[in-house]
Amino acid sequence: MEKKIRALYEEWLENAVDDAALTEELKSVAGSDDDIYDRFYRSLEFGTAGLRGVLGAGTNRMNIYTVRVATQGLANYLKKHYSESSVSISYDSRINSPLFADEAARVLAANGIKVHLSKELQPTPVVSYAVRYFKSQAGIMVTASHNPSKYNGYKCYGSDGCQMTDNAANEVYSEIQKLDCFKDVKLIGMKDALDSGLIEYIGDEFYESYLEKVEEQSIRKGICEGSDLKVVYTPLNGAGNKLVRKILDRTGVKDVHIVKSQELPDGNFPTCPYPNPEIREALEEGLKVCEEVKPDLLLATDPDSDRVGIAVPDGDGYRLMTGNETGIMLTDYILKSRIELGTLPKDPVMVKTVVTSVLVDRVAANYGVEVKNVLTGFKYIGEQILLLEQKNEENRYVFGFEESYGYLAGSYVRDKDAVVASMLIAEMAAYYKKQGKSLVEVINGLYAQYGFYKNITLSFEFDGASGMETMKNIMENLRNFKSDEMAGYKITRHADYLLQFDKNYETGEEKKIDLPKSNVLSFFLENGNAIIVRPSGTEPKIKIYFTGVGKDEQDAVNTANGLIDYVKNSGVFFPEA
């Protein structure tokens, strides 16, 4: 083991004394070079999504010291750019989330920076709203989104309520790298900070303001009243419990059944080790309740309540809708309704990510609505709202979503919001229920109208110190791929978002991609099929997005499965296969 890593370990063993659990962990790995290496071979990087990592001791872990030093770096950045500043902070239900929020607040207060701090856990979009409400210069949300329970994280926002930009994040990271996490961090006691007013707890009037803004996004106000809509809701032991239930009640959804085993905050997520509403395992407890109460809709929000998944009745069981399918239905419902009601603005815009189903583009085009395609990450959707706001045209934005179950209507926040999404999904379900239609009938009708698209996303994990290198090699191999076909289909178009080119093989035209550089590769195949590859920015995994198009549902499924088989077994994507 490198002397530098051993020295880091010894330094932490001597100085990391504020947390007894960390001290015990460091002592427990004393005889294991591999364990020490994994904890200290790198420091968690601060990016546009802030920090994220496994909980534990070391520079490559989430703990009070990595949180403190990151916050000191943020404080130094703020002091360089503002004579006075404030930061809004909240947290979700994860292990140590309240502790990390308090530690961040103490560091900021010690630097003379005002903190607006949540008294209890809140959904992530609440922080985006708080930044704008309090006119803060930054925001911090302690969360690891839908990662397994061993993770936690620290998400940062800029003064506009959007996730921090690349330039700002790079500047904060540069400040962090100058610091020693034990010697260079300022800290003040919580009582002293509260007494001095440097830390102030956020009051109830703020949450009322947020709910009012959410309620303003209702498309058909009052549609839920008299619909007898029955809903099962699970917050997956996360932060959505109070606000999602409040907004459903306020908009007329009174028959709501809570999944008791997942109602209260619990960072161990005992009933779903991977609390992600994208996967069936997370919804199993909710589906059991559905069997008993026979609802029209199952809603499941992730731990920080910025994503929502749904299941709806289908024959004798319940069908889990994908993020694409829910977004496609919401797009159609919102645009159709706003045209009918005369509330669609002039030159309307909706925004989606490049890995989100192209079926959305076809639906929007049918209503004469412009679609802006942006890089993966809701910050890029928020950025488009900001650009419109700068031209005093934010009312043109009508809806945005990404296939990973994140949705936003309205410009009151600049991040995905499961509170407003839950309200709109329930509203949509009530609208169609009054017409005698289920959401399964709705999505099938859209497929019949526009074509059958099967979108499947698979994740391939690469853990440990060698995982990042493996992922890098896979992407490099794909960049060097030389062929005019994949899986038996001609490649019609290829886009590389890192090298920023988009080449049409049918016309020979090549154009520059006018988006920030991102490690994403898209292979567009004949018949509308596609394979898109990107490493996750927050987890050690590569995500691959498959689009299979067919003459009917089964044909589309077969096509998508054929693409998946090719990726897994051809050796092109994973040479060791």
Task: Report residue 566 as tokens.
Answer: 């090719």
H/E element, 327: helix 323-341
H/E element, 308: strand 308-314
d(CA 260, CA 381): 34
Average pLDDT over residues 131-145: 97
pLDDT of 576 higher than 70: no
Radius of gyration of the chain (CA): 24
Average pLDDT over residues 48-70: 95
Task: Report residue 309 as tokens.
Answer: 């998944």
159-173 pLDDT, tens digit each:
999 999 889 999 999
Provide the β-strand partners of residue 301.
308
Q: What is the DSSP letter of 200?
A: E
pLDDT of 397 higher than 70: yes
What is the predicted pLDDT for the residue at 575?
77
Average pLDDT over residues 128-149: 96
Task: Report residue 252 as tokens.
Answer: 């007329």
Task: Report residue 507 as tokens.
Answer: 């016309």
d(CA 450, CA 441): 14
Q: What is the DSSP letter of 354?
A: T
What is the predicted pLDDT for the residue at 469?
83
Q: Let me know if 86 is a catalytic residue.
A: no
329-381 pLDDT, tens digit each:
999 999 999 999 999 999 999 999 999 999 999 999 999 999 999 998 899 99
Catalytic residue (one of 90, 128, 145, 518): 145
Residue 67: name the closest of 42, 28, 99 by CA: 99
345 SS3 class: coil
- What does pLDDT average to over the chain? 95
What is the predicted pLDDT for the residue at 465?
64
What is the predicted pLDDT for the residue at 538?
62
Which residues are CB-contacts of 542 (< 8 A; sequence separation ≥ 6)?
459, 460, 462, 471, 474, 475, 533, 534, 535, 536
What is the predicted pLDDT for the residue at 540?
78
